Structure 1
Amino acid sequence: MTATDLQEQGQEALAAAAEAATKAPERVLNQDEIDSLLGFELDGDSTPERHGIDAIVNSALVSYERLPMLEIVFDRLVRLMTVSLRNFTSDNVEVSLDNVSSIRFGDYLNSIPLPAILAVFRAKQWDNYGMFTVDSNLIYSIVDVLLGGRRGTAAMRIEGRPYTTIELNLVQRMIEVVLQDVQSAFEPLSPVTLELDRMETNPRFAAIARPANAAILVKLRVDMEDRGGRIELLLPYATLEPIRELLLQMFMGEKFGRDTIWESHLATELWATKVPLEAVLDEQQLSLREVMDFRVGQTLMLNSGPEGAIDLRCGGVRLGKGKMGRVGNHVAVRVEQAIKNARRAVLAAAPDAAAPSVPLELHAPAVKPGGAGK
């Protein structure tokens, strides 16, 4: 065998190896990898981070975590509901916050487990609507507790029939109690009046926003010993838009309302603030033609004489009256009429503060021989 034959055989072997490498079996995704890619690996109750295509589709949603004050409002709501539902049912009630998430309104309507009762309420100051969803477990538990059902037995559930008038009225009373708690929870942040608008059993009749609109979903768990269920609060972002600036605030500490430290600091700075005080000799109403005819050196006759009263004003507000005179080389104004109303209001706001010093910005008038001021 010659060297040429050996070279040809080596080239054929290399070509065969390259062809075998290109014909390697393709990688096939299994079902778990496909679900992870599409974002369908999570069940409906858990709310971890989204993945895959589902995360891209829902990237336009505004996360409730960007509104820090909502966490404080919902924690306050849980405490208020625990007390009010205990008084309402005369039973041991425990309310817990399951989770808070952002969701599209149309997706939520499609995910409501039926049968359920939907309560639509209106926020008057915000001029928009919200919605409560009460699941069947909580409905039958409330009916059983309010009508004297025995403890230790599961609430009776009769599927396949509409809710009776008694059941609707009892759930409506519970919703009214919860509405008062939501109103009280938002009150330290922004006072609002919540009114129950209507009760629905069909989600299509409870459309309070467009399907693509974003909303905040709050899932609350109500436990009454061995009974209970879930109540969900849905607030569209359009409803919270009037108080969005307030919800963006960072919450520090455990106190709502007034801050005495900042109040005292603000009062101190206000008393040290300098404001201009104007001494008005006289005011006249002239036509635009007369004003346009002003010439340099022209004399304007005033209606106020040397002993006339002068108005003292600050920012266009009249504070009192005085008389003009001279102290040394300076033109001065002596206050003749006490500033009673303004001083009483200031003393009521800060009775322990010292009297403020107000600088006088006065201009000496040029007096001509005829006694007229210019």
Structure 2
Amino acid sequence: MSDDFEDFELPEPPMLMPGGDATFDQAGIDALFGFDGTAPAPQKSGLKAVIESNVISHERLPMLEVVCERMIRTFATSMRNLTSDAIDVSLEEITSHRFGEFMNRVPLPAMFGVFKVREWENFGVVTVDSGLIYAVVDALLGGRKGNSSLTIDGRAFTTIETMLVSKMVQLALDDFAGAFEAIEPVGIELERVETSPRFAAIAGPTNIAAVATFRVDMEGRGGKFSILLPYATIEPVREKLLQRFMGEKLGRDRIWETHMACELHNTEVLVDVVLGEKHMRVHDVMSMAVGQTIALNRGPDDPLEVHCGGVPLGHAHIGQRCNNIAIRLVTDISKGFPK
């Protein structure tokens, strides 16, 4: 944090009066809160600089970088199949921005694709700059290769241009969802395409969002697009995105879970059937002889307790099957015996 506040100027401490008490005059108060009686300085100081600072604690998401790197390979192939041009897709950066600040910095004209992640029940935004918009439209409508597309200002995008760019955005979202399957399967749907950032507001202006910026080069023409995911959207998979590598397991391990389930099903257990119980004195037990009979308070049709390792499992009836003594459970194991 020391690097973020190196340019902050702290005011001089107040002077001690002869009585020993620290007092502030108006100049000291203005210096403390960052105000100056002269012309406004470009550099803020004091508490005003701390309060109004735009410093964002950037949380690195290693797995999001892996997802984006995997996406650019599949998206380049998808764009080649769509435009029949030589496409080069690269990941420029992954940063964190405040949602309102980033949307206000997008140069217009631009398109904003609002998409929904069904499993997370939240939204994200894809921003496409004008250079990429006109490059895609020019390529899909048969423009010559190698010629840079011209940006036409002063008019809104036509329905055909919006539909063509929406097709490219949907391809990018499909490939992004496909790259995300290694982390968690998701379904992404493009809901609408807007041309004004006001109509694509899916989060508060001060909310922090992760922004992945890509560049698309199409034989001398192209531009950039960004995938913006508010932290509230990626909260369900935040722990997985914080992993340093794909094999790191912060939760349960499915391989060992499956292996243990198979081994448990093949494990042999010893089940005891309690025919009855009788309280006896130690003297009577020690004086027992061969052939002596112990009377139990159980009838032939009474249910007997079934134990495993001393733990009651349920009740069963005793009988005979194929010349063997057998039991038949009359209650479910999980609910057969009161706790």
TM-score between the two structures when normalised by the length of structure 1: 0.59
Q: Secondary structure at the match of 2:90?
A: strand
Q: Which runs of 5+ in 2 are unaligned?
A: 1-40, 277-295, 329-339
Matched, 1:135 2:129: yes
Q: Secondary structure at the match of 1:86?
A: helix
The Cα shift of 1:157 comes to 2.2
| 1:217 corresponds to 2:179 | no
The answer to whether residue 203 in structure 2 is matched with residue 205 in structure 1 is: no
Check the 8 A contact 1:117/1:200 in 2, yes or no: yes
Query: Partner letter of residue 57 of structure 1?
Result: S
User: Aligned ranges for residues 150-189 of structure 1 at < 5 Å?
Assistant: 150-189=144-183
Given that 2:149 and 2:221 are in contact with CA atoms closer than 8 Å, whether structure 1 keeps it comes out as yes
CA RMSD of aligned residues (A): 4.3
Q: Is the 8 A contact 2:115 2:188 kept in 1?
A: yes
Contact 2:63 2:246 in 1 (8 A): no
Instruction: State the distance in 2 between where 1:280 and 1:132 align.
Output: 68
SS for the counterpart of 2:184 is: coil
Shift of 1:245: 2.0
Cα–Cα, structure 1 residues 210 and 261, in superposed 2: closer, same or farther, change >3 Å?
Answer: closer
Report the CA distance shift for 1:273/1:311 in structure 2 as closer, same or farther (over 3 A): closer
Give the Cα–Cα distance (whole angstroms) in 2 for the partners of residues 99 and 209 of structure 1.
22
Determine the C-alpha separation between the residues in 1 that align with 2:85 and 2:206: 40
Distance apart, 1:317 and its partner CA: 8.0
Q: Does residue 305 of structure 1 match 2:305?
A: no
Query: Is the contact between residue 312 and residue 322 of structure 1 (CA under 8 Å) also seen in structure 2?
Result: no
Residue aligning to 1:344: none
Query: SS of the counterpart of 2:152?
Result: coil
TM-score between both structures, scaled by the size of structure 2: 0.64
Larger radius of gyration: 1
Q: CA deviation at 1:236?
A: 0.2
Write 1 or 2 for the structure with the bigger share of helix. 1
1:244 and 2:244 correspond: no
Gaps of 5+ in 1: 1-33, 40-52, 283-299, 326-332, 338-374
Contact 1:312 1:321 in 2 (8 A): no
1:118 to 112, 116, 135: 112
Residue pair 2:301, 2:317 contacting (<8 A) in 1 also: no
Is the contact between residue 117 and residue 135 of structure 1 (CA under 8 Å) also seen in structure 2? yes
Residue 184 of structure 1: how far off its partner (Å): 0.8
Q: What amino acid is the match of 1:180? A: D
Task: Spell out the pairing of 1:332-371 with structure 2 (5 A cutoff).
Answer: none
Instruction: State the match for 2:22 in structure 1.
Output: none
Amino acid at match of 1:119: G
Q: Which of 57, 73, 83 is the equivalent residue of 2:53?
A: 57
Count of residue correspondences: 262
Give the 3 Å change call, closer, same or farther, for CA 224–212 of structure 1 in structure 2: same
Give yes or no for contact 1:134–1:230 (8 Å, CA) kept in 2: yes
- The letter of the residue matching 2:216 is V
Q: Which amino acid aligns with 2:112?
A: L
Q: Is the 8 A contact 1:280 1:313 kept in 2?
A: no
Aligned AA (2:77)? V
Aligned to 1:101: 95
For 1:285, the equivalent position in structure 2 comes to none
Whole-Å separation in 1 of the counterparts to 2:307 and 2:194: 64
Q: What fraction of aligned residue pairs are identical, expressed as a percent?
A: 45
What amino acid is the match of 1:120?
V
Question: SS of the counterpart of 1:238?
Answer: coil
